Chain A
Amino acid sequence: MEPNQPSMKKYLLLGCCLFLTATLYGQQRAVTGKVTDGSDGSSLPGVSVLVKGTTRGTATDATGGYSIEAASGDVLIFSFIGFETQEVEVGERTTINVALSTSVRQLGEIVVIGYGEREKKDLTGAISTMDSDEITKTVNMTPELAMQGRMAGVFVGTPSGNPFDRPNIQIRGVATWGYSQPLYVIDGIPIIEGGAASSWAGHQDIRSPVNIMATINPNDIESISVLKDASAAAIYGVRASNGVILITTKRGKKGAPKIEFNAQRGFQNVPKQYDVLNTADYTALYQEAYANNPDEAANLPAEFKPSDPAYLGNSQTYDWQSPLLNKGAIIEDYSVRVSGGGDNTNYFISGGYGRTQGSIIANYLERLTLASNVTSKIGKYIEAGMNVRLGYNNAVDNAPGDLTYAAEAPPWQPIYDANDVSGYAPSVVAQFVENPDFDLDLVNPGPRYNFDGDPQFLWGPATRSNIFASLKYGDRRFNLFRTFGNIYLQIEPIKGLKIKGSINGDYYFNLRKDWGEYAGYRFSQTPGNPYSGHDGTAKGSYGERQSRNLNLMSDITINYNKSFGDHSIDVLLSAMSQETTWKYTDARTGQVDYTDPDLRYVGNNPPFNGTFTGKIPQALQGYLARASYKYKDRYYLDATIRRDGASAFAPDFRWGTFPSFAAAWRISGEDFFEPLKGNIIDDLKIRGGWGELGNKETTQGFAYLSSVEGQPDYALGSGNGNPYGTQLGGVRLPNFPNFELSWERVQTTNIGFDAILFKNHVTFTAEYYNRYTKGIIQSVSLPPNSGIESSTDLNIGNVKNNGVEIQLGYNNTFGKIGFNVSGNITTVKNRVETMFRGTPIGGSYGRIQEGYPIGYLWGYRVGGVFQSAAEIASWKAVNEDRIGTNDQQPGDMYFADLGSTPEPGQFSNPTPDNIINSNDRTYLGKTIAGFYYGLNLGGTYQNFDLSIFFQGVGDIQKYNDARAGGEAMSSNGVNQWASTLGRWTTENPSPTMPRAVRSDPNENNRFSSRFVENASFMRLKNVQLGYSLPSSLLAKTKAVQQLRVFVSGTNLATFTSWKGIDPENDFVPPLRQFLFGINATF
């Protein structure tokens, strides 16, 4: 050791003293620390740290750590998108750890609007939004369901427990009675789906039951904006009248590569099933029902007669529902995303895989998605980008039936039979005899064998198809492949002027593969001859159907914005052209010689083959202009005009112009408001708008051309021993050329308030809307005397929807506890204002009439149940029922006398006439919800987070079809609900449920208030509990930046008075779902 060494230490010590002294006197020193997310304690990388008043700054590293030179008098500013900016005085500390709290982002939030984006505070129209955090709260195979209950004004129904069903979406009520689904615009591409708007069942069959939106992975979505009023949606012109849903997918952002990984797995169950009669109660009910009708008593099927050898009343009871329901149906979803960017280029790559099973066995959906986008600056003025999205769906559509079908099976009919070669119990038994006329040389060779006598039902006349056997004998699946993308080039020749051209494409290919094995006929309620349609030796029939939809759009957009002092302007001009062609090809054969799935193909086997193809094209062009003006962040004006042309209409009615205007006044921007700020009101805005939109989707188009259809056939030439003749192709003209059809127009007025209150803790938005639809296109079934066979598209009516939307949120932190609650409610008053010639349309399930809401329930009003012959006699002394036989017995129902024969030219006459007939049908309920709402409760405590979400619908009635079948008590042996044990009998004179009687001579089952129920409900839609691993732990991994695990439950409880399985779907009920998931960022 050198003697100097201690002195070295001294110097060092001295140096430190000096340094400290210097620091005390404002000298620079290194300050280090860590920035975390106040809500969960996770580290926050990329937080900007700036010394106030200087340009000195840094950003936190991957573990949230930072180091910066600062003096004791300095103030450090920590800022990060999505968090409240925090300022901290350095003082004498050298370590400063900061927990940033999530910002109340309302003000700075960027909202995607049509053809651009805008800060929320600058909005003038009615736009609801949700971001990826909310979208991924629930796990769905399709993005629409993520919107359920989350946004004011947007109603998303649960279609069913079938994973590929399409949700029904209503934005501010129902503006038309045709196709009322909103327009989807995904990354700027308006989606047109072939056949979507067609009311013809054939088109719907070719379209397939698989929702094409399920090819979009919800995890890839950055935000969803819903344009609700005309001023917001006018930019989409003719297709926007039902609202526009803008889906923006995730993009790469400048910065180091970021890897996100999500994994979820769970299981699902249907929480309820029907309570139906057992064999003994069932037998008793039908014995009683036949006995109650003297005319039909002799027709009591042998299966119900104890004295008959065929009697089945002593059989055991078989439960058809449990085996049909998918117990513990799997749901899982995995996705990974990589994104990042440099100075000039941003990129994003994503891959996902998900699969789920439906509530009914054998339905299954699998999804594989890939997406990628890249944007690049080329030189100073040019930007180019590309966005590609690939989706593959495998949808297995083998659900053999719905829950109601299973519930209605005779309880004595078994499902399984170990002695049968199939393992299943047959429904029928049949014998065959050789067909002497069978001749393979004929165009129509006939079947090789004919039924020898009729097939015999084994379980009575109500024998059901043993649907479970169809799993063995049939297979139907869809493979959907979708390519979706766009490229664009943008030039910014001078600052603020952007010219952008893009080409967008959306192509999907849907392949249906359909197999049916002839041996399955024994399990059918309607057995076909298994020897027909082939040479008598084939094993089954097979068909492939392709549906191909090509949607091509090009557009050019010019955008200029500039600020001059306090004035800002923003002008947009655009032109677009879109062409869509939907084509389909179907090929099938009755001659497949093998059952092996690998050997199924359509061979060239005339005459046993069938094919058809079809094509439905459409084209659309539009020009638009939008001008926006802003003064001092206080006064806003927006004006939009769009002109659209659509091929769907006759040349003279092809082009339409759609204007809109909106204005807003941000009162809180005024000087006089300044003193109020920070106390109660932080921000306040009033806005209003008016606009007109179009809807062309309610017509299939070409109404002016009148199609010639080639389906009807007639046979000529039979006789002289030939019973068949020759089948000849005829044609029909199902409609007439209608030249006058034009757009539906929706005029919307919107007035809204936006407020932020109590130091940004409370947000409040209230809006009043009034949508008036003019010239609604309706596919009208013209009065039958016209002989017009298909419904005719006509502009026939006007409808008004008005209501209020309120959205209220509260967000605060109490120590370690973060708490937020937000709710939204929308009211809808729907009223048909005028109809063509005042003529109502539609039947009992959905009548459309002036002065009533669209699609109201229309039928007889129940008066009560006759308890005695004396009561009947006194009723009949005054009244006569001309719907039933008017031979009422105790236990039959009576119905209210509410009208009489209308005067000529009228459709109703409210004067009673003591005759119960079709003039007494009346309003029984409305099928459009009067209000709907969502309520979200959220909380955080240290690393835990919890959210509880309720969704509900109120003021809505539905006809309970399942109950109408389950309590009809008049059929030939369809199983009934256990509630029928309370039916009227002399021993149990029920005041509400009539007697059981075969054939229902009194028409107790007529469409009446008896089966109309309140369909309101509130669901505990989702509960999610998450835990984020502390950053201290994660820091040690040196890779994982964030890791959150969660458990979630969906559809946990439903509060309703609905007497079925589920107020939204009794047939394929929605599922209750439990999930476990991991989200990680690297």
Chain B
Amino acid sequence: MKTTMNTKRILTLLLFSLLAFNSCDESKLDIQPGGPTEDSYFSSEIEFTRAVYGIYAKLSDFYWYNADQNECVIPVVYLPGDDITTSGQDEFEIFSNLNPSSSRISYFYRVAYQLIARANVVLQKIDAVEDGIYVTPGMKDYHHGEALFLRAFGYYQLWNVFGTAPLVTERVLSLDQTTPSNSSGTQLLDQAIIDLTEAATLLPATWDNSNRGRVTKNSANGMLGKCLVFRATVAGNNADYQAAVTAFNNITGISLVPAYDDNFAADTENNAESLFEYQATQAFAFDNVWLSNDFDNAIGSMSVFWGYYSDAWNLFGKAKFTATQKLVDLFDPADPRLDLSLDASTKDFKKYVTRDVLNQPGAASVNNPRILRYADVLLLKAEALNESGGSTTDAINLINQVRARARGAGASPADLSTGQTDRNVIRQWIMDERLMELAGEGQRWFDLRRWHMGGMITLNNAFFSSDLPGTIGFVPDRHINFPIPTSETDVNPNIVQNNGY
């Protein structure tokens, strides 16, 4: 009997201690990770500002070396045009081996959507922000406008490269959102136009010097007009051309800089002609071009790779990119832009390379790519006027503004005759002027593509004036849209591959 009592007592004691052991501790499972989480973030203006910087930072991925001369995505946009060629067998030069497994295609596609997603996060958070978080007058609108602008730039890139990539306008918060189907027609451009229209109402006219490089009302109006011209080209509608002219007319305080090559010099970035640039720099400790911007603050690469032009050592035997004979031949030899843009004998590009500042390892550059500058706007405006039945004189005068700046104090290129009324001739003038003025700036392929889609030109193998005429295999129906990467088609059952791949 006594033993039983003891046993009971001990068992009770034990059960009690077991319970005690447990009762205090389930809260121990409520631990926090070592860093900030979304739950607690976005509680102050500076946190929103950082999230906006995060959107901008994604631009880096379109321009950096990407750890490999064969992986860098600059050629996706730059190389297909008829201004640049290469003696190497690059998929963006010869087209015929361009296929959905291309790692550069995959990367370009992915980072464009990451840019959009970062913008969508900011838009979602701004939409839900409580009063009192923002303290600087206007800053909420500015952030809103920046996010819209950058998202629109993502759509613009996607439309020009893939055409039918899906339209994503909401932040992904569940798996159901991850398998959209293709966009069609100009849906991506349409959204860009909507976003840019709104951004133009939100953004500030200018920023102070320490914020130089952030987008402004002018940036939004410039991109808006550009997108409208693009849409008008393929859809052939006058309203868009006219709306583009209106948007361009809303640009104020912007002018062509006197020296043409200030547009490609590291020390004259964000100048009076600039509307939108990627702000390349040197990461503060060591700009390691083998590590992405997202890798680490001190060494993640923030530079741009102009090595295809400079035949940099880190091409490792990959052929450099040079100017086409077609481009060289188009210039009046006395046009100062010829020698500022390239070396006519070797056809090596000089843009971005001559007045460059390299990053610390010497493997890339801090010289900003000019994504949108005023000369581009002037020529687009001329095109919009010419195509929409506007004043041909005004259109020609706009071209002449660009030519006048180009010749400086010299004689060439001379003004074009304002008496010309044949819109086809003027169109050809604009096309040629764009090729010369914007050569090597990553604009040409997008122009060719839209003109071809709009039936203004016919792209064929001969058109590209490649150094590899025998091998180039451009099939318009197929290559006008680049392939949707297999990284998407392999996992998204609702996506349809572009024609011909």
Residues of chain A at the chain B interface (Cβ within 8 Å): 293-296, 298-299, 301, 428, 437, 443-444, 446-447, 450-451, 454-457, 460-462, 493-494, 497, 499, 526-529, 532-533, 554, 556, 558, 573, 575, 577, 579, 583, 590, 607-608, 610, 614-621, 623, 645-647, 651, 654, 701-702, 705-733, 736-737, 781-789, 794, 836-841, 843, 882-887, 901-902, 904-907, 917-918, 971-973, 998-999, 1001, 1003, 1006
Structural contact, B53 and A708, CB atoms closer than 8 A = no
- Whether the Cβ atoms of A836 and B175 lie closer than 8 Å is yes
Instruction: Tell me if B302 counts as interface (CB < 8 A to partner A).
Output: yes
Q: Tell me, yes or no, whether B172 is within 8 Å of chain A by CB.
A: yes
- Determine whether the beta carbon of A299 is less than 8 Å from that of B88: yes
| Contact string against A for B residues 111-142, beta-carbon threshold 8 Å, 1 for contact and 0 otherwise | 00111111011000000000000000000000
Write the nearest CB–CB distance from B499 to chain A, whole angstroms: 10
B contact residues around A906 at 8 Å (CB): 493
A838 surroundings in chain B (CB, below 8 A): 493
A713 engages B172 (CB within 8 Å): no
B381 vs chain A, min Cβ distance (A): 25
Cβ–Cβ contact B87 & A556, under 8 A: no
Contact B96 A296 (CB under 8 A): no
Assess the B290–A723 pair: CB atoms within 8 A: no
A614 to B17, CA, bound (A): 36
Instruction: Tell me, in angstroms, the Cα distance from A616 to B32 when the chains sit together.
Output: 9
Binding site for A on B (CB under 8 A): 3, 6-7, 10, 14, 17-18, 21-22, 25-26, 28-39, 41, 47, 50-58, 60, 87-89, 94, 96-97, 99-101, 106, 109-110, 113-118, 120-121, 165-166, 168, 171-175, 177-181, 209-214, 266-271, 279-286, 290, 293-300, 302, 310, 312-319, 357-358, 360-363, 366-368, 468, 470-471, 473, 485-497, 500-501
Question: Do A621 and B28 form a contact, CB below 8 Å, given A493-B10, A529-B361?
Answer: yes
Residue of A nearest to B173 (CB): A736
The reply to whether B214 and A621 contact each other, CB–CB distance below 8 Å, is: no
- Cβ of B492 and Cβ of A785 under 8 Å apart? yes
* 17 A–B contacts from the bound complex (CB under 8 Å): A296-B88, A451-B358, A499-B10, A529-B361, A590-B286, A647-B28, A708-B37, A708-B38, A713-B302, A725-B279, A727-B284, A727-B297, A729-B297, A783-B491, A784-B109, A785-B165, A836-B175
Q: Please, how many angstroms separate the alpha-carbon atoms of A577 and B20 in the complex?
A: 12
Complex contact A718–B113 (CB within 8 A)? no
Q: From the candidates A615, A707, A720, name the one contacting B38 in the complex (CB within 8 A).
A: A707
- Contact between A529 and B360, CB atoms less than 8 A apart: yes
Q: Which residues of A contact B97 (CB under 8 A)?
A: 883-885, 1001, 1003
Contacts of A451 in B (CB 8 A): 358, 362
- A839 pairs with B117, CB closer than 8 A: no
Q: How far is the CA of A295 from the CA of B47 in the complex (A)?
A: 52
Interfacial chain A residues near B295, Cβ < 8 Å = 711
* B residues in contact with A918, CB < 8 Å: 99-101, 486, 489-490, 501
- Which 6 interchain pairs have the tightest Cβ spacing? A787-B117, A461-B317, A972-B317, A730-B53, A615-B34, A712-B57
Q: Smallest Cβ distance from B54 to chain A, in angstroms? A: 4
Bound Cα distance from A836 to B492, whole angstroms: 12
Q: A442 CB to closest chain B CB, in angstroms?
A: 10
A379 to chain B, nearest CB (A): 15
**Are A714 and B282 neighbours in the complex by a CB distance under 8 Å?**
no
Rounded to whole angstroms, the CA-CA distance of A783 and B284 in the bound complex is: 33
Q: Inside 8 A of B299's CB, which chain A residues have their CB? A: 610
Q: Determine the distance from Cα of A528 to Cα of B314 in the docked complex, in whole angstroms.
A: 11
Q: Across the interface, do A706 and B270 meet the contact criterion of CB distance under 8 Å?
A: no
Whether B6 and A493, one on each chain, are in contact in the complex, defined by CB atoms closer than 8 angstroms, is: yes
Contact of A917 with B362 in the complex, beta carbons under 8 Å: no
Specify which chain A residues have a CB less than 8 angstroms from the CB of B173 in the assembled complex.
736-737
Q: Give the residues in chain A near B485, CB-CB below 8 Å.
A: 784
B154 to chain A, nearest CB (A): 9
User: A840 to B489, alpha carbons, bound, how many Å?
Assistant: 11
Cβ-neighbour of A999 out of B88, B281, B285 (below 8 A): B88
In the complex with contacts A784-B113, A785-B180, A558-B362 CB distance below 8 A: no
Partner of B268, one of A499, A719, A1001: A719
| In the bound complex, CA of A827 to CA of B155 (Å) | 51
- A740 smallest CB distance to B (angstroms): 9
Cβ-defined partner of A444 (8 Å) among B56, B168, B178, B282: B282
Cross-chain contact B100 with A708 (CB below 8 angstroms): no
Question: Once bound together, how far apart are the Cα atoms of A533 and B491, in whole Å?
Answer: 43
Contact B296 A711 (CB under 8 A): yes
In the assembly, what is the distance between CA of A542 and CA of B266, in Å? 32
Could you say which of B30, B54, B88, B315 has the most chain A C-beta atoms within 10 Å of its C-beta?
B54
Q: Which residues of B contact A1001 (CB under 8 A)?
A: 89, 97, 471
Rounded to whole angstroms, the CA-CA distance of A998 and B87 in the bound complex is 12
Which residues from chain B contact A727 at a C-beta distance below 8 Å?
281, 283-284, 297, 302
A898 to B: closest C-beta gap in Å: 15
Bound-complex Cα distance A721 to B266 (A): 8
A617 touches B175 (CB 8 A): no
In Å, the complex CA distance between A558 and B10 comes to 11
A691 CB, nearest partner CB in chain B, Å? 23
Q: Report the separation of the CA atoms of residues A794 and B172 in the bound assembly, to the nearest whole angstrom.
A: 14
- Docked Cα-Cα span, A651 to B317, in Å, equals 55
> Contacts A461-B317, A723-B267, A904-B494 given: A729-B50 contact, CB under 8 Å?
yes
